[in-house]
Amino acid sequence: MEWLQNKINVKDFWTNYKHEIGLIIALYIMYLFVCPIVGHGYDTYCWREWTKLNFQGLSGAYDTWNEYPPAYQHFLYLFAKIQGSVESINENMYQLKFYTLLFDFAGPILCFICFKKAKTDFYKLLFALLNVAYLYNTLIWGQVDSIFTFFCFAAIIAALYKRVYLTMVLYILAFGFKVQAIIFFPLIGILLANEVFIKFKIIDYLKLLAVCVITIVLIVLPFYANLPKMWEAISGSVDRCPVLSMNAYNLWHLLPISGHMIEVKDATLYAGISYKNWGMLLFFIGSTAALLPFTLSVVKNIAHKKAYTFTTEQVLLVGALIPLLFFFFNTQMHERYSHPAFLFIIAYNFVSGKQLPTLLFSVSYFLNMEGVLQFLRLHNYGTLIFNSRFIAILFLLTIGVLFRNLYISFKKTNSLTSALQ
């Protein structure tokens, strides 16, 4: 079974796709002109205040209230220096979208470089960059999830190519932008297990440790004087909003629970277990179902010191399922927390040619985001398509289709049967 059909050849992309690159650049410039100067009010306020903190220097990023990890403080610091003054930051905060948008473009471009089967697959890249649902979080809402999403996706691509050191650098960067990246750790660990546990020697472990430590130190060093506050900002992301749902239209909107999901505490007990723990248990069960064939195969083959392989299609499906299951079952979820699934679903379209997952997820995600922000100022937010239960069902259908495709793929390749033997 092959891992990937293409080698990463950036030179080939620059040489043989000049017209396509020109179109991509033109599309990016167009988005700069049509980009709304407003976004989600509270989120924009947060970016503005934290950017002004970083304008005085990275060392002061955690002097007062700050909720984001250190890598994103570097990003805000660069943006602050580009703006050049507090006045410019106040006036041009919407321009932060321009730089975040680069990562929205980088993800599908990486998909094209790695997974294209023919030059005509460029239309899939173009479709992704024209997908309003995919760009909504950055261009309209003004959020920054596309940055850590890109690094998580790139880390898993590097793991597919068995580039252990690069994988860990990219993954640490992802975690440094958003703690939510931790949900991909089991998948990355499985993909790297063959290299690390079978092929690595003592010197390789030392090199890996050095690479990880150096990467972490470079990210964290400017905040050395405020390490306790930095850690508080990172650890404080857990239980910051201890309610059933922060506008994520997920499982909790399907259950007969009285009250608004954004007001019901997730510490409430059902059958002696809190809603929060029920959600975590369901996420664990769902993730186990997605990762089980991988895990069994890894354990079996490492025990016999044999290499193992999975198809690219299977890895991408699991990569899409993990954030969707995280979003759908857990409490405290925001509406945008399913965003990391996007790049894996886009890449899956490149590999398999199956467009239903992209369609289902795009519709689900857009309706959830627009139903909350109401940027378009429509007159029908009370209709079925914006109903939270209807959207939750769409997310559930997306998960069902991905699981179905995953286990069909396992059956075709005998991955599950061989893992159980």
Which of 47, 140, 94, 34 has the alpha carbon at shortest distance from 372? Answer: 140
Note whether residue 236 is domain-resident.
yes
Summarised one tens digit per residue, pLDDT across range 131-150 is 999 999 999 999 999 999 99
Cα angle: 184, vertex 186, 189; to 5 degrees: 105
H/E stretch holding 12: helix 10-16
The stretch 93-118 carries a mean pLDDT of 96
**Would you state the pLDDT for residue 97?**
98
Mean pLDDT value across the chain: 92
Helix-strand-coil split of the chain, %, nearest 5: 75, 5, 25
Query: Which residues are within 8 A (CB) of 179 and not within 5 positions of it... i.e. 6 or more apart?
Result: 69, 234, 237
Report the DSSP beta bridge partners of residue 265. 243
Query: Which residues are within 8 A (CB) of 169 and not within 5 positions of it... i.e. 6 or more apart?
Result: 211, 215
CA distances from 58 to 50, 63, 81, 175, 249 (A): 10, 10, 11, 18, 36
Note whether residue 158 is domain-resident.
yes
Summarised one tens digit per residue, pLDDT across range 230-264 is 988 888 778 888 999 999 999 999 999 999 999 99
Q: Is the pLDDT of residue 130 over 70?
A: yes
Note whether residue 1 is domain-resident.
no
**Would you state the pLDDT for residue 225?**
87
The single-letter code of the amino acid at 95 is Q
Note whether residue 20 is domain-resident.
yes
Percentage with pLDDT > 90 across the chain: 78
As a whole number of angstroms, the distance between CA 203 and CA 201 comes to: 5
The stretch 351-379 carries a mean pLDDT of 97
As a whole number of angstroms, the distance between CA 392 and CA 327 comes to: 11
**Would you state the pLDDT for residue 14?**
82
Phi, psi of 96 (to 5 degrees): -60, -30
Note whether residue 57 is domain-resident.
yes
Note whether residue 3 is domain-resident.
no
Contact 35, 28 (CB under 8 A): no
**Would you state the pLDDT for residue 239?**
81
How many separate domains does the chain show?
1
Domain residue limits at 169: 10-420
Which of 123, 208, 122, 215 has the alpha carbon at shortest distance from 177? Answer: 215
Which of 370, 379, 385 has the alpha carbon at shortest distance from 141? Answer: 370
Strands 273-274 and 269-270: antiparallel
CA distances from 11 to 8, 119, 143, 202 (A): 9, 15, 32, 35
pLDDT tier, 65 (very low <50, low <70, confident <90, very high otherwise): confident
**Would you state the pLDDT for residue 293?**
85
**Would you state the pLDDT for residue 417?**
53
The stretch 398-409 carries a mean pLDDT of 96
Note whether residue 186 is domain-resident.
yes
pLDDT tier, 2 (very low <50, low <70, confident <90, very high otherwise): very low
Q: List the alpha helices (DSSP H) in 161-274.
A: 164-177, 185-193, 202-220, 227-235
Q: Is the pLDDT of residue 416 over 70?
A: no
Q: Is the pLDDT of residue 6 over 90?
A: no
Note whether residue 292 is domain-resident.
yes
162: left (phi over 0), alpha (psi -120 to 50) or beta: left
Q: Is the pLDDT of residue 198 over 90?
A: no
The stretch 216-228 carries a mean pLDDT of 93
The single-letter code of the amino acid at 370 is E
Q: Is the pLDDT of residue 316 over 50?
A: yes
